[in-house]
């Protein structure tokens, strides 16, 4: 099966629109979310080929790839191994963010209204980052999380 466009998101469908359909999931890693051209296999064993337009920046959990009479195929994102950094002060967060920024590490930020319940910075797990956080006495936890956006490599030049 060859897919060229995203048809919406599962969260936009009503239960009656989903009822009676065989639902399959294409399970992707965080890294796979930024790949517009790729092959995969659904959890039911169906081969899928993606060739999405340049306008698609990244895939998201729940994106609909197929929505036919009796079939619904959606994207499911695997949880990522991340470090959730919960600084006690703006000074501490600025210090940690600046230090990790010098490594060109990709981060996502969430406020107190998020599922984390406080302002946090989330980065992909790396043992050297964990060592830095320990040495800086920065409060953090290592967690498995489905991230709302893909961590993406950023170019760098001086």
Tens of each residue's pLDDT in the chain, 158 residues: 999 999 999 999 999 999 999 999 999 999 899 999 999 999 999 999 999 998 888 999 999 999 998 999 999 999 999 999 998 888 998 999 888 888 888 889 999 899 999 999 999 999 999 999 999 999 999 999 998 888 876 555 55
Q: What's residue 103's pLDDT?
A: 81
- CATH number of the domain bearing residue 59: 2.60.260.20
Whole-number Cα distances in Å, 141 to 84, 134, 149: 5, 11, 20
Q: What's residue 5's pLDDT?
A: 94
Q: What's residue 101's pLDDT?
A: 82
Instruction: Count the domains in the chain.
Output: 2
Identify whether 157 is part of a domain: no
CA distance 117 to 111: 7
Nearest residue to 128 via CA among 69, 80, 83, 62? 83
Residues spanned by the domain of 138 = 80-145
Shared domain check, 54 and 20: yes
Domain end position, chosen among 46, 77, 108: 77
Nearest residue to 149 via CA among 58, 47, 20? 58
What are 116's two structure tokens? Answer: 């984390």
Domain end position, chosen among 42, 77, 112: 77
Shared domain check, 47 and 93: no
Domain end position, chosen among 77, 94, 119: 77
- CATH number of the domain bearing residue 136: 3.30.70.790
CA distance 148 to 61: 8
Identify whether 156 is part of a domain: no
Shared domain check, 118 and 58: no
Q: What's residue 154's pLDDT?
A: 57
Shared domain check, 73 and 11: yes
Identify whether 154 is part of a domain: no
């Amino acid at each position: 099966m060859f897919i060229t466009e995203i048809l919406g998101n599962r969260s936009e469908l009503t239960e009656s629109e989903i009822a009676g359909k065989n639902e399959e999931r294409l399970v992707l890693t965080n890294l796979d979310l930024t790949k517009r051209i790729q092959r995969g296999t659904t959890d039911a064993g169906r081969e899928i080929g993606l060739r999405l337009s340049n306008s698609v920046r990244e895939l998201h959990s729940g994106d609909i790839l197929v929505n036919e009479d009796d079939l619904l195929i959606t994207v499911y994102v695997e949880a990522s191994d991340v470090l959730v950094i919960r600084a006690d002060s703006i000074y501490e967060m600025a210090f940690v963010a600046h230090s990790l920024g010098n490594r060109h590490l990709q981060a996502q930020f969430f406020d107190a209204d998020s599922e984390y319940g406080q302002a946090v910075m989330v980065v992909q797990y790396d043992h050297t980052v964990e060592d830095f956080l320990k040495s800086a006495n920065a409060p953090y936890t290592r967690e498995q999380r489905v991230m709302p956006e893909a961590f993406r490599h950023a170019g760098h030049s001086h």
